[in-house]
Amino acid sequence: MQIVAMGGGGFSMEPENPLLDSYILSLARASKPRVCFVPTASGDSENYCLRFYESFSKRACVPTHLPLFKRQFADLRGFVLEQDVIYVGGGNTANLLAIWRAHRLDAIFRESAQAGAVLCGVSAGSICWFEAGVTDSFGPELAPLNNGLGFLAGSNCPHYDGEAQRRPTYHRLIASGFPAGYAADDGCALHFDGGRLLRIVSSRPAARAYRVQCVDGTVRETVLPAESLGSADEAKRK
């Protein structure tokens, strides 16, 4: 089961920087993979889908998307299992999880990953794969979310350097008993294989990931340096 959890970045946040999206495509089992964008967290935003197609139609892949607010596929399982990459967009994580469970997509996505598809996403599309996460799903203030899919153990906090309250909120939650986990800056991605953190990659020079846990009553944040994927200009010329 391969999962790439992005703290921020990809086509929606870095339209001129294809590095993270290119890395995800490199993990696919097919030379021209079928890439399915899942925009549930944004309410199936048409603009978000358009930006996905504008970006991925230029790549060596077959882009498609999975709408659920106006569902187009009777056989969700059959459609999902045809995909090589499941790419989940940002938005409201709590709503995403509720809607997926109503359509039984939680089980379908697990089956898809076990069959060899890559699961990935940004922000809500990062948090959802973990047991818990730091979210703005319930209002303007950040809050804990404790009912993630649990494909990955522990918790997740995206946008660690991009939003001022992410770090202090995550530390406060960890200190109060929230599951230990991983934070990621914008432009940084955590690549898990079989539940184990395999690699950390970045599309920005300073982007990092962090292991955050409570040890003997004290929150400890360990920097996990990321491997640079190169420069965006070089990637665009390829």
Q: Which residues are catalytic?
A: 123, 159
HSE-up of 229 (CA within 13 Å, CB side)? Answer: 27
Q: Are 199 and 2 in contact (CB under 8 A)?
A: no
Rounded Cα distance between 19 and 203, Å, is 6
DSSP line for 153-185: EEEEE--TTTSTTHHHHHHHHHHTTPPPEEEE-
Q: Are 128 and 150 in contact (CB under 8 A)?
A: no
State the angle between helix axes of 105-114 and 93-102 in degrees (0 to 180), rounded to the nearest 10: 90
